[in-house]
């Protein structure tokens, strides 16, 4: 099962009033949905919820929901925050079968940027997709999709086929090998080259006049 366990209570009150009551009681209100069952209004102690949230392994990951003696695998699909205090104010959990495939967006992580050849040549990484939706078994959801830039050169195009996926996983876009990022000459490098060219032209004109 998953590493994180959320001990939930079932809320009797639904809607805005029920959610406010849960927050006043020191809990974060949420909704459990999915599968062949009706949605259920739930809540989790705010302190415990924050502890799970700040591990970085709650949102978009397989977690265990516990209610009394019952447990079930779920995926935290969304967390809403107060725009002023940044406190979590609502969350969505989706029921899943651990071995069944689910569609989920996974963040893309680019590593070894500082050591990349194009970085030393004045190139810049232009990211097209910061995350990619994949179809993957619930118990094999990766924390991130990794792109290694260590050998990347100026002019390279990084596509979905360059990313290793868990066994059995696949991108939900199947009709093309779509672009994740491109490597181009940075605007700073272009400006520097233009300045050098202008200085060169000026030196040539001075030499001609002399």
What does DSSP assign to residue 139? G
Rg for the chain (alpha carbons), in Å?
25
Q: What is the pLDDT of residue 197?
A: 54
Compute the distance between CA of residue 3 and CA of residue 190 in angstroms, rounded to an integer: 48
State both tokens at 93.
Answer: 């959990």
Q: What pTM did the predictor assign?
A: 0.72
Q: Which domains does the chain have, with CATH numbers?
A: 5-96 (2.40.240.10), 102-192 (2.170.120.20)
Compute the distance between CA of residue 111 and CA of residue 145 in angstroms, rounded to an integer: 10
Q: pLDDT in tens for each of the 210 residues of the chain? A: 457 999 999 987 667 788 889 999 999 999 999 888 899 999 999 999 999 999 888 888 899 999 988 899 999 989 999 999 999 999 999 999 988 999 999 999 999 998 898 888 888 899 999 999 999 999 899 989 999 999 999 999 999 999 999 999 999 999 999 999 999 976 554 555 456 555 555 444 555 555
Helices and strands (H, E) in the chain, number of each type: 4, 13
- Start-to-end CA span in the chain (Å): 81
- Three-state SS at 184: strand
Q: Which burial class, exposed, middle or buried, applies to 195 when counting CB atoms under 10 A from its CB (0-12, 13-18, 19+)?
A: exposed
What does DSSP assign to residue 115? T
Q: What is the pLDDT of residue 192?
A: 55
Residue 109: strand pairing partners: 146
Compute the distance between CA of residue 95 and CA of residue 73 in angstroms, rounded to an integer: 6
State both tokens at 165.
Answer: 């996926």
């Amino acid at each position: 099962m998953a590493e994180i366990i959320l001990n939930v209570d079932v809320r009797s009150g639904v809607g805005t009033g029920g959610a406010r009551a849960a927050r006043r009681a020191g809990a974060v209100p949420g909704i459990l949905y999915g599968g062949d069952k009706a949605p259920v209004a739930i809540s989790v102690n705010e302190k415990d919820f924050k502890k799970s949230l700040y591990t970085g392994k709650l949102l978009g990951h397989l977690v265990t929901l516990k209610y009394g003696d019952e447990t079930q695998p779920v995926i935290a699909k969304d967390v809403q925050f107060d725009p002023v205090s940044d406190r979590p104010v609502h969350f969505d959990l989706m029921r899943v079968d651990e071995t069944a495939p689910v569609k989920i967006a996974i963040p893309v992580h680019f590593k070894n940027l500082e050591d990349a050849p194009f970085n030393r040549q004045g190139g810049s990484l232009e990211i097209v997709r910061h995350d990619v939706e994949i179809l993957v078994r619930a118990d094999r959801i990766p924390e991130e999709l990794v792109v290694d830039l260590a050998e990347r050169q100026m002019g390279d195009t990084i596509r979905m086929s360059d990313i290793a996926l868990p066994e059995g996983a696949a991108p939900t876009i199947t009709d093309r090998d779509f672009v994740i990022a491109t490597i181009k000459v940075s605007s700073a490098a272009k400006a520097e080259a233009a300045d050098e060219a202008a200085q060169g032209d000026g030196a040539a004109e001075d030499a001609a006049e002399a």
